[in-house]
Chain A
Amino acid sequence: MIKKIFLIGNPNVGKSVVFSRLTGVTVIASNYPGTTVEISKGYLTIGEERIEVVDLPGTYSLEPASKAEETAVSLLRELPKEESIVINILDATNLERNLFLTLQLIEEGFSIIACLNMCDDTTHRGIHIDTKKLEEFLQAPVIPTCAVTGVGIKLLIERLKDAHPVRMKKLSHEERWQEIGRIVEAVQQLTHRHHTFREILEDASVGPISGLLMAAGVIFTSFKIVRFLGELIIKKICDPFFYGFYQPLLDSLGSYWGGQGFWYHLLIGDLINGRIDFKQSMGVLTTAPYIEFAMVLPYLASFYLILSLLEDIGYLPRLAILLDNLLHRLGLHGFAIIPVLLGFGCNVPGILATRVLESRRERFIASTLISIGVPCVPLQAMIFGLLGKFSGFYVSGVYLVLFSIVMMLGLILNRALKGYSPEFLLEIPPYRFPPPLLLAKKLYFRIKGFLLEAVPVVLLGVLAINVLIYFKLFDFITSVFAPVVKGLFGLPKEAVASLVIGFLRKDVAVGLLMPLGLSAKQLFIAATLLAISFPCIATFVVLLKELGFKDLIKATLIMIVVTVIVGTLLNFVILR
């Protein structure tokens, strides 16, 4: 009786794409080792039966080297072998290395079916694999597939029933490589071809000087595109909608209430100069949707478009090599750049992605640095909205301060924490070009995730703020924290509300700062403090889950200390 189907394979062979094909469940897939850090489950219906399919994080062998690999292997071993089928996914363009895990699985007695993925890519790389012969060697079904287009998936499902345990003697690691050498010799034929343009680019991106030049170009261009697209969407779609269509609607609703009362205050908010001001009115129907849909969403969409593209092409691991040296001084290694980049979108997936780092110490440093010094898209969008109208110095100033904090804090943590920063051993994938449809799907999936998570919190948050303000309940909290905020940070005591709400969501908090009439310098300090102080509640929950209670407290204390020091310093340096 088969209870589960496991998908297992080396990192970055396309397990998640095969998983989506089998189950119809969308999961994020990218072109770098270690995209999957969480276990995804879905169902495959064969005839009458509905079997659970589990997508495991990639692993090179059955002896795990990171937390993600550990999860993969322990889940695989949880179930008695006769109750599971293992679909071993292999990268056909790199058969030799992939077979190491395959043989291990067979030796251990799992019923496997080998899925030779990325078969479309073998032809132009001059590789020919005789699948029939490979089947004979492995004594298991071998199915060539191309998961991104769906080729071979049907056959894979049909042949699941042919998977059966094979008696094979356990080999030592050396013997296993010898055996693999024999198999590859017999089943794989290589035709010699010239270097393609793609390969020249691949090599250039791992060279020290050419790599740095490429990275500078890629980062600069990405930043420009994100900003340009974001502004374009706001100007051409969001603002016309809100000002041309939505505002007249609200105006008539407002006059129905006669411009006052509890509901008016709650839903429309305060009029600024006699009109609804989407950025400042703070109503559940005015500022809340405007912040999310016309200030944050456009940038979020363009950010994720560029990030997804870079992920799928396979550029990110190349950035990891370039930054390894720098990150080493912070107690991390180059690969930590990937969680950091994801953190720029939203801290939650960023912190989850730290699971690919080997040690607990690294995960602590990376998570703490991300939650303090990496501003998410909603926060960045609001910083642009808040400070963009002043000279460009203020916006870049926030980034500069955050960057300095990350560097200094990293240096200190690396010195202060016991242990050492491990070295990295990372596979650099070849460049691949994802079908546009797949890219669009991934973008849609990410935006949907954001909307489902953010919109309810923002609406409820603004509602709660308005109720608190209406019944004057903020006054108590304000008076408690006023000495710190006013005395040390040089901000008016009304800014307390914003810093407190920052715990809920950063974008709403920045919105609360707008009506206070702060000077550019004060806004600069407030925005910086919002970025480094408590992460939003969602991040907090993930930190608790990933770090545990004790380390969460440690991270929080660090956060508070940094906030107080930076706030005070900024106040005395630029305000006084």
Chain B
Amino acid sequence: MKKISLLKMQERQKGKVAEILAGPGLTHRFMSMGIYKGREITKLSHFALRGPVAIKVGRSVLALGHGMAGKITVEVE
């Protein structure tokens, strides 16, 4: 088990949200869309040149801007 940034995850890799280093506003937005500490997520894709990241949370697919994705740390195998 190690903790890495969501940006560093491989495509198709699964992990558990370990930490969200964002202000209360964004943390809350993440929270209301189902991204919170302990939640299992799968990374789907990552666009080059600081592009957005797509992840799967539960049954929804979410796209996050590059900066936002960098605020999420994930625990992976």
Which A residues contact B (CB, under 8 angstroms)? Answer: 60-61, 63, 65, 93-94, 96-97, 100-101, 173-174, 177, 202-203, 206-208, 211, 317, 320-322, 324-325, 328, 333-334, 422-428, 430
Contacts and interface: CB of A to CB of B under 8 A. Distances in A.
B47 A325 contact: yes
Nearest to B28: A63
A321 B49 CA distance: 13
Contacts of A426: 62-63
Interface of B is mostly: mixed
Contact of A428 (B28, B47, B61, B65): B61
B5 interface: no
A206 B51 CA distance: 12
A222 to B, nearest CB: 22
B76 interface: no
Nearest to B62: A427
Given A208-B46, A321-B47, A96 B33 contact: no
A423 B54 contact: no
Contacts of B58: 94, 96-97
Contacts of B44: 203, 206-207
Interface in B40-60: 44-52, 54, 57-60
Contact of B54 (A60, A61, A96, A428): A428
Contacts of B8: none
Contacts of B52: 321, 324-325, 334, 424
Contact of B49 (A101, A325, A428): A325
Interface of B: 25, 28-34, 36-37, 39, 44-52, 54, 57-68
Nearest to B44: A206
Nearest to A11: B33
Contacts, number: 104
Contact of A334 (B46, B63, B67): B63
Q: What are the nearest 8 A-B pairs in CB distance? A: A423-B65, A61-B32, A60-B32, A428-B61, A325-B51, A423-B68, A206-B54, A324-B52
Contacts of B33: 60, 97, 425, 427
Nearest to B34: A97
A325 B68 contact: no
B30 to A, nearest CB: 8
A424 B52 CA distance: 8
A13 B66 CA distance: 27
A321 B46 CA distance: 10
Contact of A173 (B31, B45, B54): B31
B72 to A, nearest CB: 11
A333 B63 CA distance: 11
A325 B59 contact: no
A211 B57 CA distance: 20
A325 B67 CA distance: 12
A231 B25 CA distance: 50
B61 A427 contact: yes
Contacts of A203: 44
Given A96-B58, A325-B52, A425-B62, 16 more contacts: A61-B31, A63-B28, A65-B25, A94-B60, A96-B34, A97-B60, A100-B34, A101-B32, A173-B32, A207-B44, A208-B45, A317-B63, A320-B63, A423-B68, A427-B63, A428-B61
Contacts of B63: 206, 317, 320-321, 324, 334, 424-428
Contacts of A427: 33, 60-63
Nearest to A335: B63
Contacts of B45: 206-208, 211
A325 B49 CA distance: 8
B28 A173 contact: yes
Contacts of A174: 36-37
Contacts of B46: 208
A173 B36 contact: yes
Contacts of A100: 32, 34
Contacts of A211: 45
A430 B44 CA distance: 14
A486 B28 CA distance: 58
Nearest to A100: B32
A321 B44 CA distance: 12
Nearest to A318: B63
28 contacts: A61-B31, A61-B32, A65-B25, A94-B59, A94-B60, A97-B33, A97-B57, A97-B58, A97-B60, A100-B32, A101-B32, A177-B34, A202-B61, A206-B61, A207-B45, A324-B63, A325-B49, A334-B52, A423-B65, A424-B52, A424-B63, A424-B65, A425-B33, A425-B64, A426-B63, A427-B60, A428-B60, A430-B61
Nearest to B48: A208
Contacts of A202: 61
A397 B62 CA distance: 37
Nearest to B65: A423
B62 A428 contact: yes
A333 B39 CA distance: 26
A108 to B, nearest CB: 14
